[in-house]
Amino acid sequence: HVVLISTGVGVGPCIGAIEEGLKDATFPSIQLCASFRKQEDVVCEDHLTELAEKNPDKFTWNAIITAECGKISANEEHIKAAMFSRFGDFTIDDVHYH
């Protein structure tokens, strides 16, 4: 399972990677957590929703609105709340990120 995390317009490069991954039947499933300050800042929502609807077993995404819940990176609890509850039982020690 591949998890991508983006902020703001940084979602653009993630979309390109997602589109390429969805072309390859052997590529693992993809989850995008896209963080935006406000709901009106969410970009490419229609396109991401369409990709998710066309590839329900391979791609899911959600928009995290930081004005409502705080920055994901603020602390470990925010990371867990935003991410881990969606993916089953693993801890922050199981994650590799850049």
Query: What is the tens place of the pLDDT at every residue in 6-20?
Result: 989 999 999 999 999
Specify the pTM: 0.78
Gap between the Cα atoms of 45 and 36, Å rounded: 12
Q: Mean of the pLDDT values across residues 34-62?
A: 95
Instruction: List Cβ neighbours of 90 (8 Å cut-off, separation of 6 or more).
Output: 84
Q: Mean of the pLDDT values across residues 35-61?
A: 95
Q: Mean of the pLDDT values across residues 72-82?
A: 66
